[in-house]
């Protein structure tokens, strides 16, 4: 049973539920973009309209996922309760200085941008997995892409065999076992979840 917020007189959507909906939208978006990319012949003929169509699907999916991730409340349960609480909120906002309102709006804007970045990272992870699956269906050879293969290019420390107490070897082994797609999805979910939580707490 969902909890309710007496301040907003609306059903509060838990963070877990919002992230689940956003992730499902990202998965559906990646699948739709992959199917469109394959059946329009964009894999062999990179024409502008095919690229624009695939990009439009990805952008639309990202917008919908962002909507679900940032939607913290449902509609009010009763009109009378909603009107009463709205009057309390308006009274509170009237007593709040312009600097406080500016800080509040800026915090919500920045957290919204961070949520969008997190969802974009997660979408990139799903896209990497989709490319691996597509390559396997096309050639019959599974090409594993580990986090180490990408991180070692940007983090020279991973290529250094000498490290304090063998920390380099431990981190390198873990990065080699962790798929890049899973790492991106986990990172994106962590970033989006943290920012969405901060955004929800600031609204209380």
* Digit-coded pLDDT (tens) for 147-196: 888 887 777 777 766 655 667 777 778 888 888 888 888 898 888 888 88
Full residue range of the structural domain in which residue 93 is found:
4-144+179-202
Tell me: do 76 and 171 sit in the same domain.
Answer: no
Tell me: do 55 and 128 sit in the same domain.
Answer: yes
What does pTM read for this prediction? 0.59
Tell me: do 184 and 158 sit in the same domain.
Answer: no
pLDDT tens sequence across 97-132: 556 667 777 787 888 888 888 888 888 888 888 778
Tell me: do 77 and 157 sit in the same domain.
Answer: no
Tell me: do 80 and 113 sit in the same domain.
Answer: yes
Count of domains observed in the chain: 2
Q: Classify each residue of 185-202 as buried b or exposed e, where b means 16 or more C-beta atoms within 10 Å of its C-beta.
A: bebbbebbbebbebbbee
Tell me: do 105 and 34 sit in the same domain.
Answer: yes
């Amino acid at each position: 049973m969902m909890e309710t917020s007496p301040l907003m007189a609306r059903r509060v959507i838990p963070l877990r539920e919002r992230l689940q909906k956003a992730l499902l939208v990202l998965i559906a978006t990646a699948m739709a973009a992959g199917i469109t990319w394959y059946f329009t012949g964009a894999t062999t003929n990179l024409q502008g309209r095919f690229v624009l169509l695939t990009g439009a699907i990805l952008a639309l999916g990202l917008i919908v996922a962002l909507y679900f991730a940032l939607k913290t409340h449902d509609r009010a349960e009763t009109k009378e309760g909603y009107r009463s609480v709205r009057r309390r909120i308006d009274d509170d906002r009237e007593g709040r200085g312009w600097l406080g309102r500016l800080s509040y709006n800026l915090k919500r804007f920045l957290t919204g941008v961070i949520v969008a970045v997190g969802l974009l990272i997660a979408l990139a992870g799903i896209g990497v997995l989709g490319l691996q699956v597509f390559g396997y269906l096309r050639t019959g050879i599974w090409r594993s892409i580990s986090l180490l293969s990408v991180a070692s290019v940007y983090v020279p420390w991973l290529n250094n065999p000498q490290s304090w107490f063998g920390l380099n070897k431990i981190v390198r082994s873990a990065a080699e076992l962790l798929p890049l797609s899973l790492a991106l999805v986990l990172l994106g979910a962590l970033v989006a979840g943290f920012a969405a939580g901060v955004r929800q707490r600031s609204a209380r």
